[in-house]
A and B are shown apart, each in its own frame.
Chain A
């Protein structure tokens, strides 16, 4: 016992550095707050660039109101905000040592984040192909794509991080028990679910944009169901694989990991609210 490498000791003992916090704030949380302060300056510089160029649009610039599809963006904004709710519940669950509930809410957060990303991909494609707004054909396109694209990168990094945390929640308590192969299989199914789910969501969004809600439903039942069914199948597979019965090396001592990830996620959402207001909504102020 006395000379045990830390792998043998419970996680609370491994987190040696967190014990000593002179400020009472755990290291990881303090790190995240400081990083977010840095990220504030990052997005501040990008958003000001956009606003400065909106104040001085070069002649011949397209009007954003002719380009934006505010309904779609409002929908994805709503989805992103709801993902923050799920993230908050996930943090709450892990603090109560409810690993299963944490997992489910992480999964929900991931899916909502992906829907947001999917909407952004759809929006970019739509703007480029239908509205002729590219990165290079005007200053508005440059600032718009760079700003929203950078935010999208942040969301994507957040989603990757969430996926890793989700997989980590299956790591068994006994280090001798194999789990990495299972995790890889898990991840593969996960990718299928993501890709098919994205295709289903994007197809539906496109149909709504093109034919309205009723038309989209008609089209859905006429033959757009395949990606939807594949998603359902993959999710079922995920649920079967995910029924890991043994004890896992993940629980209340890891709450700070989930919490600092949550801080990042909420921050990215808050930035989106600022971007949504400053970039989109302000254009509709008469």
Chain B
């Protein structure tokens, strides 16, 4: 494409579309829509419920993910508080054992699959396409489908609270034979385990579909000049996480299929009496389960690698090393699953090998920590709320990492296994790590998404309360664990020496809860009356901040950015002394400086008709509804109903296929006249 000459003006529509720049109201569009059968008529509402149900915009889908994930984060938090109330004093009778089992199972499942993963996915969806200068993800309808599928899985998992057999109560690890028909028996009457199986299957499908989309997007839709080694680190971690998801979820899918065959159809995969091997469940589960740990933490590392340089006013120290160590963690993550099984008796060779591999994984993790410290070193630190959470992350994640190294030594692990020491460890990496980073990310990107800043006072207050509450809750658990307090036990005796730490822990949990409440209150308050920002409040480095307004317009960029360097936006601001052309308010094509960027028409008007946007569609949500109905019947062992759901799924997918990609065109120039 000729970028040196100003392109000739291209034909324009006789009458500019109105209102705004949406051509949905254009007579041409309506006429085409009328010609199609009613079920192929694309929804065109720009606002309101229908627009959200049928959206294919990656930013809206990101918001949907974010809000659902925050909701389930609160649900999981309430479950945790109930657990802590039960454990506050010895011999407590606040909860029954059954309710306690349901609570710890659902707390873990909710936090992992319905809070941390979708919160990361929210950021992947909203931020990643903007960071690479793309207009949307590669498959916008599929992206919507992944979200509705996530919601379907979340509903299936939680519907147990409202049915007689209760919520799932087998632990998030679902160890066979505990999950087999014989033990979580009441065969064909107790559907809580089936809800867990089906819910996880649906969530897995959602994650895999979403990840395939992200992989294609990152590899194919990068803006010109955005080479792989210029990708923002968050996008890199998105890519690695997506690969981890597509390669690890099939293992748990198979494990769950086998379990479903056992429970529903009398197969013998995990039935010891018929030659089944429960240890196979553990292998299949942890081949998924360990990479899952990195699925939860790599996006967090990506967010931190964006925030620390931004608030240190320095480039990320050792960018290639950070990227390669991330990839290294991803690869090693597949080779360490058996460290969850040291106490199952795998034999000395396997134990030694997995012990060594697990210790090795600390190396790239440590490398990242040093890179972050190197980034801070000598920087002009701006101690804003995102930075506070990010620094909290580095510190807390390090503590969690150290106790992780302790587990990797098989002899030590055999003492710590299933004790509160493990609970302390993984909460330090999952709250101190993932959650702190996600909270930092929410603060960091809140102005981009809402156009408003979060109040600093309330933000910092929430940080200190969360930080204090978190440490008061989980640090004593190290000592509880070393003193032998087992996990997953609803009641403990008063003379074990566990009373005081448990009580402190419960108090800390409530402080943590108050901190989270302050955090949310600050968000809601700022969303309603926070100071407005037009754009780029942090003087940030990456392309998502170069959009013309906060929140970004539908089409993201009026002109595709051309990337000259790593930290593309920063580079433009610092080295060229002015905003890159794509970041300026869109102007008529002729006003663009020749050679700087492609003009709107040259880059996006290759077909002579503006920016092509994908149309909204009903079929993602209809298809997901088929899966939700089928899944609920499947969990209830009602196979006729399940087939009904499958038929709806098939119908939805078929019509989706025949609906065609659709699309309409926007003209950003007109909108800013």
Contact = CB atoms under 8 A, between A and B. Distances in A.
Interface of A: 1-9, 13-17, 19-23, 25, 27, 30-31, 34-35, 37-39, 41-42, 44-46, 49, 52-53, 56-58, 61, 135-136, 138-139, 141-143, 145-146, 150, 160, 164, 168, 171, 175-176, 180
30 contacts: A1-B11, A1-B608, A1-B609, A2-B11, A2-B12, A2-B13, A2-B610, A3-B13, A5-B665, A6-B612, A6-B665, A7-B32, A7-B662, A13-B607, A13-B612, A15-B661, A20-B221, A25-B219, A31-B213, A38-B212, A38-B246, A38-B247, A41-B251, A136-B266, A142-B261, A143-B269, A150-B257, A175-B35, A175-B36, A180-B37
B216 interface: yes
A22 B220 contact: yes
Nearest to A20: B221
Given A35-B212, A42-B254, A20 B220 contact: yes
Nearest to B249: A38
Interface in B439-477: none
Given A2-B610, A7-B32, A38-B246, A168 B658 contact: yes
Given A2-B12, A6-B664, A37 B219 contact: no
B275 A57 contact: yes
B662 A6 contact: yes
B379 interface: no
B268 A136 contact: yes
B609 A9 contact: yes
B269 A49 contact: yes
Interface of B: 10-13, 17, 23, 26, 28-29, 32, 35-37, 136, 138-139, 208, 212-213, 215-216, 219-222, 226, 246-251, 253-255, 257-258, 261-262, 265-269, 274-277, 280, 284, 287, 606-610, 612, 615, 650, 654, 657-658, 660-665
Nearest to A13: B607
Which of B253, B254, B266 has the most chain A CB atoms closer than 10 A to its own CB?
B254
B322 to A, nearest CB: 22
Contacts of B251: 41, 45
Nearest to A163: B654
A192 to B, nearest CB: 19
Nearest to B262: A142
A21 B661 CA distance: 17
B248 A135 contact: no
Contacts of B249: 38
Contacts of B615: 6
Contact of A139 (B12, B23, B276): B276
Nearest to B11: A2
Contacts of B267: 135-136, 141-142, 145-146
Q: List the 7 closest pairs (A to B, CB-CB), nearest first.
A: A58-B275, A136-B266, A6-B663, A42-B250, A45-B254, A142-B267, A41-B250
A143 B281 CA distance: 14
A22 B222 contact: yes
Contacts of B32: 5, 7-8, 175
B604 to A, nearest CB: 9
B247 A41 contact: yes
Nearest to A61: B275
A25 B208 contact: no
Contacts of A6: 612, 615, 661-665
Q: Identify the interface centre among B222, B287, B612: most chain A CB within 10 Å of its CB.
A: B612
Contacts of A176: 35
Given A2-B11, A3-B609, A139 B268 contact: yes
Given A58-B274, A142-B267, A160 B662 contact: no
Contacts of B215: 30-31, 34
Consensus secondary structure, chain A interface: helix
Contacts of B36: 175
B138 A17 contact: yes
Given A17-B221, A38-B246, 10 more contacts: A2-B608, A3-B609, A5-B665, A7-B660, A13-B612, A22-B220, A27-B216, A45-B284, A135-B266, A142-B258
Nearest to A149: B261
Given A3-B610, A3-B665, A6-B612, A164 B657 contact: yes
Given A22-B222, A139-B275, A176-B35, A3 B606 contact: no
B383 to A, nearest CB: 38
Nearest to B245: A38
Contacts of B665: 3-6
A146 B221 contact: no
Contacts of A37: 246-247
B17 A3 contact: yes
Contact of B250 (A5, A8, A39, A58): A39
Given A14-B663, A38-B249, A45-B284, A22 B265 contact: no
A9 B657 contact: no
Given A14-B660, A35-B212, A49-B258, A2 B609 contact: yes
Contact of B139 (A1, A31, A139, A150): A31
Nearest to B261: A146
Of A2, A19, A53, which is in contact with the most chain B CB atoms at under 10 Å from its CB?
A2
Contacts of A25: 219-220
A5 B35 contact: no
A31 B246 CA distance: 11
B135 to A, nearest CB: 8
B268 A142 contact: yes
A142 B180 CA distance: 15
A30 B258 contact: no
Given A1-B11, A27-B139, A164-B657, A49 B254 contact: yes
A175 B33 CA distance: 10
A9 B274 contact: no
B248 A34 contact: no
Contacts of A31: 138-139, 212-213, 215-216
A86 to B, nearest CB: 21
